[in-house]
Structure 1
Amino acid sequence: MDGDEEQNRPVVGGNVTFDPLAAALPVEEPAIREVLDCDTGEFVDARVWIGGQRYEGLIAQRVSVRERLSEKPRFRCSLCSVPVYLVANQLKHFFFRHITEDGSCPAETRSPLSRDEILARKYNGVRESEPHKRIKALIVRSLAADPSFSEILSEHQWRSSHDRHSRRQPDVQVTGPMGRVAFEVQLSTTFLDVVAGRRSFYRQEGALLVWVMGYFDPDYRRLTTDDLLFSNNSNILVVDEETAALSEAERRVHVRCHYRRPVREGDSLTDHWESYVVPFNGLTCEKETQRCWHFDYDRQAAALRAEIDKELQEREQATMDALRGELFSFWLSRSPNSAPDRTAVHAWAALRKALDDRGISLPPSPNDDSGFIALMNGVASAKEGNPVGWNFRRLVEVAHRISDGYPQHVVAFGHAVRLFEREKLLDEQDRTGKWKRRRSAIGASLRRGEPDFAPDPATIPLVDLLIPGTKAKLEKISPASSTHAPATSFSIVTAS
Structure 2
Amino acid sequence: MSDVVQRSGFRVEAFKAFHRQAEPVFGCPACPGHLYPKLSLNHRAYWAHIAADGCPLAEGRRLSERQLDALLYRGRQEGAAHEALVAAVANMAQADSSVDQGSISIGSYLASSVPGWHGRYPDVRFAFDGGRIAIEVQLSPISLHRLAERALYYQEHGYTLVWVTRDFDPRTFKPTWLWDVWATQRAAVFSIDDAVLQQSVGEGRFLLKRHSIEGGAVTIVGLRELVPVIWHVEFKRRWREAARENWGGALDLTREVLAQRGIPPHVAEPSAVCHAINTLIAIESWEPIGSRHSNPRALINDFLNSADAMLAHRIIFSALRIYRPETLDTGKTKEMISKAAQRAKAEDVAPWNSTSAMAAIAHDLFPAWSRALSAG
| TM-score, length basis structure 2 | 0.55
> CA 1:109/1:255 → structure 2, altered by over 3 Å: closer, same or farther?
farther
Gap regions ≥5 residues in structure 1: 1-19, 22-53, 262-271, 289-496
Q: Secondary structure at the match of 1:168?
A: coil
Deviations 1:158-202 (A, max 9, x none): 001233752001111111123332100123311111111011111
The equivalences for 1:136-285 within 5 A come to 136-149=86-99, 150=101, 151-163=103-115, 166-219=118-171, 220-261=173-214, 272-285=215-228
Shift of 1:127: 4.4
Letter of the 1:57 counterpart: Q
- Quote the Cα distance in structure 1 between the aligned partners of 2:193 and 2:137: 12
2:35 to 84, 94, 104: 84
The equivalences for 1:91-490 within 5 A come to 91-103=42-54, 105-108=55-58, 111=61, 114-124=64-74, 126-149=76-99, 150=101, 151-163=103-115, 166-219=118-171, 220-261=173-214, 272-285=215-228
Q: Say yes or no: does 1:62 pair with 2:11.
A: yes
- Quote the Cα distance in structure 1 between the aligned partners of 2:31 and 2:98: 53
- Quote the Cα distance in structure 2 between the aligned partners of 1:126 and 1:68: 29
Letter of the 2:121 counterpart: Q
Deviations 1:293-329 (A, max 9, x none): xxxxxxxxxxxxxxxxxxxxxxxxxxxxxxxxxxxxx
Asked whether the equivalents of residues 138 and 240 of structure 1 are also in contact (C-alpha less than 8 Å), the reply is: no
- Quote the Cα distance in structure 1 between the aligned partners of 2:23 and 2:106: 34
Count of matched residue pairs: 226
- Quote the Cα distance in structure 2 between the aligned partners of 1:287 and 1:186: 26
Partner residue of 2:309? none
- Quote the Cα distance in structure 1 between the aligned partners of 2:58 and 2:104: 46
> CA 1:154/1:109 → structure 2, altered by over 3 Å: closer, same or farther?
farther
Letter of the 1:245 counterpart: Q
- Quote the Cα distance in structure 1 between the aligned partners of 2:62 and 2:149: 24
1:75 to 26, 42, 65: 26
Deviations 1:342-390 (A, max 9, x none): xxxxxxxxxxxxxxxxxxxxxxxxxxxxxxxxxxxxxxxxxxxxxxxxx
Asked whether the equivalents of residues 160 and 227 of structure 2 are also in contact (C-alpha less than 8 Å), the reply is: no
Shift of 1:251: 1.2
Shift of 1:111: 3.1
- Quote the Cα distance in structure 1 between the aligned partners of 2:161 and 2:95: 20
Gap regions ≥5 residues in structure 2: 232-376
Partner residue of 2:298? none
Higher RCO structure, 1 or 2 (CA under 8 Å, sep 6+): 2
- Quote the Cα distance in structure 2 between the aligned partners of 1:142 and 1:241: 13
Q: Secondary structure at the match of 2:6?
A: helix
Compare the two structures and name the one with the higher strand fraction: 1
- Quote the Cα distance in structure 2 between the aligned partners of 1:142 and 1:215: 17
Asked whether the equivalents of residues 208 and 220 of structure 2 are also in contact (C-alpha less than 8 Å), the reply is: yes
Asked whether the equivalents of residues 136 and 185 of structure 1 are also in contact (C-alpha less than 8 Å), the reply is: yes
Asked whether the equivalents of residues 188 and 225 of structure 1 are also in contact (C-alpha less than 8 Å), the reply is: no
Aligned-residue sequence identity (percent) comes to: 26
Whichever of the two has the greater Rg, that structure is 1
| TM-score, length basis structure 1 | 0.42
CA RMSD in angstroms comes to 2.5
Q: Secondary structure at the match of 1:73?
A: coil
Q: Secondary structure at the match of 1:276?
A: strand
